[in-house]
Amino acid sequence: MKHICTTHCYRKRLGLNGEGRPARHPKIELAVFDMDGVLVDAKSSWAWVHNHFRCNNNESVERYLKGEIDDLEFIRRDIALWRKSDSEHSTISDISSILEDVPIMKGAKECMDRLAENGVVLGIVSAGLDLLANRVAHELGMEHVYANGLLAGRGGILSGEGILRVPLVDKASSVRQIASDTGIPLSRVAAIGNSCFDIGMFDVSGYGIAFNSEDECVEREADRVITEKDLLLVAEAILEQ
């Protein structure tokens, strides 16, 4: 069952009201995708690693949603769980190997090929792990990638610190950056996401698509809702504009 967003959503955290969204242009030139649950058939790249180490971050999630810890502290706590569970296998290489088994979403390659053939620039904006985002981008031919990283020291051993590029409640900034880098107006941007944290991408884009949604709020804010787990349907929705 889909759950209603309990975060008061990112709008309260950022002081936004959703007004001023760019008018949709009939031709989409840039498609920006969330990764977890959208480009990959896994709810969270962080949770995928947690499951491997047989730990969970429920306490950190609760504190983050209450605003008691920030994104970097959230990342630090997740890394600490891995190191505590198995300090000998907490290296960049180990985490990368764990993420190799994350499955690509059905229709993803066909979707990207179809969009690219029609001149649409492709990007990823994810609060997930860049180790997975970079692999996905390489496999699918996606040029622009914004995701969060892990810092490591000698021998690739995790230092316990992270690299924050995409705050969970502010994906909009990364969408704006890709649009600026490519010179594409926001009115010609399509954003594809599956949770309340992706609504920010919708707010700055001309076209918002809720795909494989896990929150009712993201469906309410989307221009189009696609429930079938087949990304080729996203390409069709974008190109039929």
What CATH number did the domain enclosing 220 receive? 3.40.50.1000
* In-domain check, residue 52: no
Cα 90–58–125 angle (5° rounding)?
70
Q: Which residue has the tokens 């929705």?
A: 237
* In-domain check, residue 95: no
Q: d(Cα 127, Cα 34) in Å, to the nearest integer?
A: 8
* In-domain check, residue 58: no
Total structural domains within the chain: 1
- List CB contacts of 222: < 8 A, sequence separation 6 or more: 202, 208, 209, 210, 213
162 sits in which H/E element: strand 158-163
What is residue 15's predicted lDDT score, i.e. its pLDDT?
Answer: 45
* In-domain check, residue 150: yes
- The boundaries of the domain holding residue 215 are 9-42+103-239
Q: d(Cα 174, Cα 158) in Å, to the nearest integer?
A: 26
Q: d(Cα 160, Cα 47) in Å, to the nearest integer?
A: 17
Contact yes or no for 56/237 (Cβ under 8 A):
no
* In-domain check, residue 206: yes
Question: Please, which residues bridge with residue 159 across strands?
Answer: none
Which residue numbers in the chain have pLDDT < 50? 1-4, 6-8, 14-17
Q: Which residue has the tokens 């180490």?
A: 53
C-alpha 111 chain-centroid distance: 17
Q: Which of 142, 155, 148 is nearest to 88 (CA)?
A: 155
* In-domain check, residue 161: yes
* In-domain check, residue 136: yes
What is residue 24's predicted lDDT score, i.e. its pLDDT?
Answer: 74
Q: Which tokens sit at 231? A: 């990304």
* In-domain check, residue 17: yes
